[in-house]
Chains A and B, each alone.
Chain A
Amino acid sequence: MSDDAGEVTPDEILMAAYQAGNEAAFGELFGRHAGSVYRFLVRRLADRSLADDLFQEAFLRLHRARHTYDSTRSFRAWLFGIVHNLVVDAMRSRSRLPETTSLDDVREAAAERQQQAELGPDYRSPERLVAARQSTMALSRALRALPSDEATALILARLEGLSYDDIAEVLGRSAAATKQLAYRALKRVTATMKAEGHEEET
């Protein structure tokens, strides 16, 4: 959604229109953020079917909570606050996450094979492809093993590009504490991957 001058309407303005019952404003917000909410859920849970269930629930929660949104705050921070709490609730209700190869690991392997088939045999050498695949699986496992807030901090900073101020708002912590969380998370992930023999070439 953009105005007559072609400028993109900020999320915060769209949110005000959505609060007033404007369906188009909701549609625009949904279009802008559905992808990043889904990516966050998939990376955070490493379980595609649970991510699917929580995706719909996230937007229903957003709808129910829309009148609590304060337009002076960052919309993305508010949105991911809802999604993070949803994930915490869901993980509490599960005794523990699966530690064996998840269905997502299998799906990622299939997607990698498809990408290779589409791009042709020169895309990557088989050795490099296998190494990248194993590295991705190791990374998913390492993310899964992180404490909840650390995982959220790292995923939002690394994959969704949220500022540490916004992530601090999501987690209800100070920006300095949030950076420490992300640092510790990255250190754990790197150590896990190194222990498994998946070091990124630099």
Chain B
Amino acid sequence: MKRQISCSEYQGAFIEALARGPGSELSADVSAHLALCSECRATSLDLEAGWDAFRDLQPVEPPQALRERTRGAVLALMSEERASASRRRWLDGVQVPLAVGSARAGEQRPIWDLGSTLGRLPRVVAPTASDRPARP
């Protein structure tokens, strides 16, 4: 025997059929429910009219100035983010060599502690008077 659908199942199928557009067919069990349930039958006619009433709503579009302002606001954010990412990449590029230099010194020191690292580098010393060749 064929299962009969409930009013609640009918309602779900009916609202889906309305969204599919006029003339969309109801399945056999939905049609069978409609034939048997006078309440759903009466309501469905009203609801079809209610669905059609939306046709009279005036079309609305965002004003051009609002469109431009909104698009511009997002694009400005994107551009800001790109600039900030580029600054971060530059800083990363600077920090890595410094960090490597620090690691070579064999110490766990913050990368900004450059003074002691630089202190271990060979000093460039200005020639003293004794280094200079004697004047003729």
Q: Kindly supply a per-residue 1/0 record for chain B positions 61-75, scoring 1 wherever the CB is within 8 Å of any chain A CB and 0 otherwise.
A: 111001101110111
Q: Kindly supply a per-residue 1/0 record for chain A positions 109-143, scoring 1 wherever the CB is within 8 Å of any chain B CB and 0 otherwise.
A: 00110010000000000000000100110011000
Residues of chain B lying within 8 A (CB to CB) of residue A63: 74, 77-78
B49 near A190: Cβ-Cβ < 8 Å: yes
Q: How far is the CA of A189 from the CA of B63 in the complex (A)?
A: 28
Q: How far is the CA of A49 from the CA of B63 in the complex (A)?
A: 11
Q: Pick from B11, B47, B49, B51: contact of A180, CB below 8 A.
A: B11
Instruction: In the complex, identify which listed stretch (A6-14, A51-59, A70-78, A86-94) lies at the interface while the others stay far away.
Output: A51-59
A200 near B53: Cβ-Cβ < 8 Å: yes
Q: Residue on B with the closest CB to A26? A: B74
Q: Pick from A158, A161, A200: contact of B49, CB below 8 A.
A: A200
B32 in the interface (beta carbon within 8 A): no
The residue in A39, A187, A200 that gathers the most chain B C-beta atoms within 10 A of its C-beta is: A200
A147 in the interface (beta carbon within 8 A): no
Q: Residue on A with the closest CB to B77? A: A63
Given known pairs A136-B57, A157-B15, A179-B16, the reply for A30 and B71 (CB within 8 Å) is: yes
Residues of chain A lying within 8 A (CB to CB) of residue B50: 186-187, 189-190, 193, 200
Q: Kindly supply a per-residue 1/0 record for chain B positions 18-51, scoring 1 wherever the CB is within 8 Å of any chain A CB and 0 otherwise.
A: 1100000000000000000000000101111111
B77 near A139: Cβ-Cβ < 8 Å: no
Given known pairs A157-B19, A179-B15, A180-B11, the reply for A139 and B74 (CB within 8 Å) is: no
A98 in the interface (beta carbon within 8 A): no
Q: Pick from A21, A27, A60, A112: contact of B58, CB below 8 A.
A: A112
A97 in the interface (beta carbon within 8 A): no
B67 near A199: Cβ-Cβ < 8 Å: no
B82 in the interface (beta carbon within 8 A): yes
CB distance from A79 to the nearest CB of B (A): 13
B52 in the interface (beta carbon within 8 A): yes
Given known pairs A200-B49, A200-B52, the reply for A108 and B70 (CB within 8 Å) is: no
B107 in the interface (beta carbon within 8 A): no
Given known pairs A34-B62, A38-B61, A158-B54, the reply for A183 and B73 (CB within 8 Å) is: no
A39 near B73: Cβ-Cβ < 8 Å: no
B53 near A135: Cβ-Cβ < 8 Å: yes
Q: How far is the CA of A120 from the CA of B63 in the complex (A)?
A: 26
Given known pairs A164-B16, A183-B12, A200-B53, the reply for A190 and B47 (CB within 8 Å) is: yes
CB distance from A32 to the nearest CB of B (A): 12
Residues of chain A lying within 8 A (CB to CB) of residue B53: 135, 139, 189-190, 193, 198, 200
Given known pairs A112-B58, A132-B56, the reply for A59 and B51 (CB within 8 Å) is: no
B47 near A43: Cβ-Cβ < 8 Å: no
CB distance from A37 to the nearest CB of B (A): 8
Q: How far is the CA of A176 from the CA of B49 in the complex (A)?
A: 23
Residues of B within 8 A of A (CB): 8, 11-12, 14-16, 18-19, 43, 45-54, 56-63, 66-67, 69-71, 73-75, 77-78, 81-82
